Amino acid sequence: MSTWFITGCSTGIGRALAKAVLSHGFEAVVTARDVHTVADLVAGYPDQALAVPLDVMDHDQVLAAVQATIDRFGRLDVLVNNAGYGYRSAVEEAERDATDELFATNFFGPLDLIQQFLPTMRAQGSGRIVNVSSTAGQVSSAGSGLYSATKFALEGMSAGLKIEVEPHGIRVIIVQPGPFRTDFAGRSLKQPDVPIAAYAETVGVRRKEKDTMHGTQAGDPEKAAEAIITAVMSENPPFRFPLGNFAFDVIRTELETHLAELAEWEYLGRPTDF
């Protein structure tokens, strides 16, 4: 897996992953909306690294970044769709423009990149597509409904994609981080301008949590980066790959709850066939 393309490299897991990929000796296309924020990452790797400006909502920039990758390296082995951000809002509070932008970044941007790079991967007969989701792609909570919707969409698309591309030698990996010490709970977390007071005891509690959580998260981005590289390089990579104790605990509890409810209501749901 010699050539990587990583979105959202200015901070957080994306930055840590780009740094680790280059230090392992791989080639990397390192992207960010402001390409100057990743100049230091590529400075020491003139033969391995290419910095490219990319806003995943901009289709023309996507096309240009894909072309720049092929022109420079001639192939792509690993696409990492990492760029994204959070949105904390009650469903009723959610602003239409903010919701559209959230889906454009967290879902339609990765979809565009996948569609543009798949012809190259199919021609190679190999590749890895890494879609960075979240525990919120499996478990939602008050204030995270819209953000979870983007990650549920990403995971649902990835599940179908997995079946479609495996015959072509391409594997799909969904990464599901818990809380990591990045800007996600700070600069990268957006909220409505006008909250509704009726949700003070649900979403309001999560807003207060944001004020205390940023900078204290348990997850280490550098350890996450090394874990992702190991998973990607493995012969039989996982399809869903949680990161951190929180992710494993919360997802396991959610799955157990689903199984219990399935068993409880099976008597009523099963007999509805002709």
Q: Which residues are identified as catalytic? A: 133, 147, 151
Please give the Cα distance from 161 to 148 (Å, whole number): 19
DSSP one-letter code for 144: -
Contact at 8 Å (CB) between 230 and 19?
no
Separation between Cα atoms, residue 174 and residue 196, nearest integer Å: 34
The two beta strands, 49-53 and 127-132, are unpaired
Nearest alpha carbon to residue 219 among 4, 8, 12: 12
Does residue 8 contact residue 84 with C-beta atoms inside 8 Å? yes
For residue 104, how many other CB atoms are within 10 A of its CB? 16
Q: In what order do the strands lie in the sheet with 27-32?
A: 49-53, 27-32, 3-6, 78-81, 127-132, 170-177, 240-243
Dig out the tokens for 236 from the structure. 């039989």
Q: How many angstroms separate the Cα of 202 from the Cα of each of 70, 95, 112? A: 48, 18, 35
